[in-house]
Amino acid sequence: MPCQASLDLLPQELLDEIVQHLSLTSLARLASCNKTLCRRFEPLLYSRDDACNQAMIWACTRGYVSAIRRLVSNYRVPVSTVDIHFPSRTWSRRENKWTCIDRSAKVLTLTLAASRAQVNAFRVLLDLGARIDIPGLRRESVPRLINGITQPVDGDWKMLRLFYNAQLHTQVIQEGRGEPALPLLRLVGRASPTPPVDPVRLLLSLGADPNILQQPYDLSRRMIYTPLTAAMSQHGYDPTEVLEILLKHGADIHGPELDRPVDRARHIPIFVAAESMATYGTKLVQWCLIHGADINQSVIVFDQLHYNGWSSWSTGRLYYTATPALAYMQSLHRTAFETDSKYGPVYPLQGLIYLFTHGAIIDPPPDRTQRQQLYPNPNKSVAPPWCIELLVWRWGLGKAEKSSSFRAMLRHLIQHSVCRGHAGEVLARCETAYTRWVGAHSVRSNGLLRKWKKWPSEGRDPTEVQCIMRVHVLDYLTKEIKIAPTTLLQQYIIARGELMDREEQTTYTVMEYLLAEGAEINAPIADDGCTALHRLCQTYHGFIKAGISQTVDGSDARSEFLRVLVRMGADGSIVVGGQTAWDVLLVHTMWYSDLLLVWARIVGWKEKQTIA
């Protein structure tokens, strides 16, 4: 006779004695042998401590609808919550050690069903009257519930519709919880296989804000998104249809105005579209422009080019005004120029040309100094970098020897700046960015802390660095574009001197090269005979007179640059308009600046001379 049949024939008294020696798990397995045993053992099983609670957890997470109904109707198990037991480590002052204690917390049954995508269990719980406005819930229970219903099951958002058809979102609003009752941004930001068109319409019809700002943990903790930009950022479905729906319901194509800088402008649609060109090509950028986006829209972001992790905590991070073109350059993957094969839907250079042909201003970016003054600390505001600076800072110049696509982009940016009359400045910016790339690359390769070092850096051959600079920048400017060495040297001196706002050891490569090519360092740059040294002194005098903040590093760098110019042959005694170089620094100054005196001594002023 089978074992089950023998147990069925035993008197209830004997069964009770057997059950007393069985654990809860063993008793549950025995009750599952057949219906007769289940009917006889079920009252004994559920009479044990915490048995009904554990059974409810098991039924909700595995979708046993009949068990849920029987527990609620026959054994009065709460339909809305269960108790979850978990160990917690706490420090015992009395015993002076860590102790482990068991804790419990209330969790929604709907959360359990949603987390395991049990649609039938979710529906039955709602039919039985499950609610979410229960006092004493664990803090993350409702957020996890809303996170679960925004996840599609078999390509459909069944639980989301059940949730809102039951009007449970009103309970979230009444409780005033941190998680939005209408999680529009979380919904559109999920990389689902199909676009969530109907769920988006449902949430918008219920009053969801199409311009809500959030920091969803499943997208990024350090950036701010809107529904438009969240839909653009995911890589699961084509967002065009969802974007159209959001726009018709009042989404702002220009994005919100923030009162603080951000790491990346993930709340501005045109910026996200520019960054996503490697994934979607130009489709999203074109969509934004068709609907009125500004290709040169600006936003304040934290500076990455001058970022120094050692000093950022004590002095605060710098920030500048970014544009979509700069955002595109920063979005290029580190392997974008590894091979000459096609990188995504567009080549890196093709994406930049597309932005430029549609009106993007690059190198130099548009002047946004008035916008930067809106922020409380103007001393932390720096001029925005050029696209070529970001290119060289991220990949160096040696990449031009290995990648034709990198070489093409580098030359295109140089040609663009030359055509706009900024040959000397693009040369100076290339040199500065390459200097910092060499320093960062050397530190990374040596396994040390990432900190900018003086050029030439340890671990790099100075001769190699100088050769790369000559071949890919200087030779191209003087021998292929045919810029006169004297003109290039004059523009370089002025631009390089103005850009020195950080501690950097001056490189002699550029000036030595141009002087060897026949450049005249004292040649006039204007009809009045003004030389590059005179013009630079005028600029430095203007800095002090305007009260522009001078850091110690920047002042030392400018002083060193003036010494280099004098050693290279720049003559500070040349009289231009009745003034020498030191006259330009000191004459008509109502008060004496120690820094101006230092600069004047460098260019030729003697202590015995009298200031007019």
pLDDT digits (tens, 9 = 90+) for 315-339: 567 888 899 999 999 888 877 887 6
Residue 558 placed within a domain: yes
Contact indicator for 109, 145 with CB cutoff of 8 Å: no
Residue 104 placed within a domain: no
The domain boundary, picked from 385, 407, 442, lies at: 385
The pLDDT of residue 418: 94
The pLDDT of residue 278: 75
The pLDDT of residue 103: 82
Is the predicted pLDDT of residue 2 greater than 70, yes or no? Answer: no
Same domain, 381 and 264: yes
- Cα–Cα distance, 191 to 212 (Å, whole number): 19
Length of the chain: 612
The pLDDT of residue 114: 94
Q: Which residues share a beta bridge with 262? A: 301
Three-class secondary structure of residue 95 per DSSP: coil
Average pLDDT, the chain: 81
Residue 195 placed within a domain: no
The pLDDT of residue 412: 95
Q: Which amino acid is at 186?
A: R
Is the predicted pLDDT of residue 488 greater than 80, yes or no? Answer: yes
Mean pLDDT across 392-421: 90
Q: In 227-353, which ranges are E strands?
A: 299-302, 319-322
Residue 221 placed within a domain: no
Domain that holds residue 40: 3-80
Is the predicted pLDDT of residue 439 greater than 50, yes or no? Answer: yes
Same domain, 29 and 66: yes
Is the predicted pLDDT of residue 456 greater than 70, yes or no? Answer: no
Integer angstrom CA distances of residue 325 from 349, 355, 370, 414, 553: 12, 7, 20, 16, 30
The DSSP letter of residue 262 is: B
Q: Which residues contact 243 (CB under 8 A, 6 or more apart)?
A: 228, 231, 232, 251, 287
Distance of CA 332 to the CA centre of its chain: 13
Is the predicted pLDDT of residue 444 greater than 50, yes or no? Answer: no
CA-based angle 569:573:577, to the nearest 5? 125
Distance of CA 411 to the CA centre of its chain: 28
The pLDDT of residue 443: 41
- Dump the DSSP string for 534-578: HHHHHHHHHHHHTT----HHHHHHHHHHHHHHHHTT--TT--BTT
Same domain, 403 and 355: no
For residue range 157-199, what is the model confidence (pLDDT) as tens digits?
999 999 999 999 888 854 444 457 889 998 999 888 899 999 9
pTM confidence score: 0.82
Same domain, 64 and 18: yes
Residue 222 placed within a domain: no
Residue 446 placed within a domain: yes
Mean pLDDT across 11-40: 73
- Cα–Cα distance, 546 to 541 (Å, whole number): 9
Q: Which amino acid is at 300?
A: I
Integer angstrom CA distances of residue 393 from 63, 131, 334: 55, 56, 12
Same domain, 259 and 375: yes
Mean pLDDT across 249-275: 91
The pLDDT of residue 99: 77
The pLDDT of residue 313: 42
Share of the chain above pLDDT 70, in %: 81
Q: What is the token pair recorded at 532? A: 């590059």
pLDDT-derived band at 500, boundaries 50, 70, 90: confident
Mean pLDDT across 60-86: 91
pLDDT-derived band at 486, boundaries 50, 70, 90: very high
The pLDDT of residue 312: 45
Residue 354 placed within a domain: yes
For residue range 82-120, what is the model confidence (pLDDT) as tens digits?
998 887 777 777 777 777 777 888 999 999 999 999 999
Phi first, then psi: give them for residue 139, nearest 5 degrees. -60, -40
- Cα–Cα distance, 82 to 50 (Å, whole number): 10
Is the predicted pLDDT of residue 360 greater than 80, yes or no? Answer: yes
Same domain, 460 and 500: yes
Same domain, 506 and 401: yes
Residue 504 placed within a domain: yes
Same domain, 548 and 442: no
Three-class secondary structure of residue 219 per DSSP: coil
Mean pLDDT across 441-450: 39
The pLDDT of residue 449: 30
pLDDT-derived band at 215, boundaries 50, 70, 90: low
Is the predicted pLDDT of residue 440 greater than 70, yes or no? Answer: no
Please name the residue ranges forming H helices in 306-398. Answer: 309-315, 324-331, 348-357, 369-372, 387-395
- Cα–Cα distance, 546 to 193 (Å, whole number): 58
Contact indicator for 189, 180 with CB cutoff of 8 Å: no
Integer angstrom CA distances of residue 268 from 232, 262, 272, 282, 300: 11, 11, 6, 16, 11
The DSSP letter of residue 386 is: P
Mean pLDDT across 542-560: 77
Total number of domains in the chain: 4
Element (H, E) at 92: strand 81-92
The DSSP letter of residue 153 is: B
Mean pLDDT across 454-479: 70
Share of the chain above pLDDT 90, in %: 37
Q: Which residues share a beta bridge with 99? A: 90
Same domain, 381 and 401: no
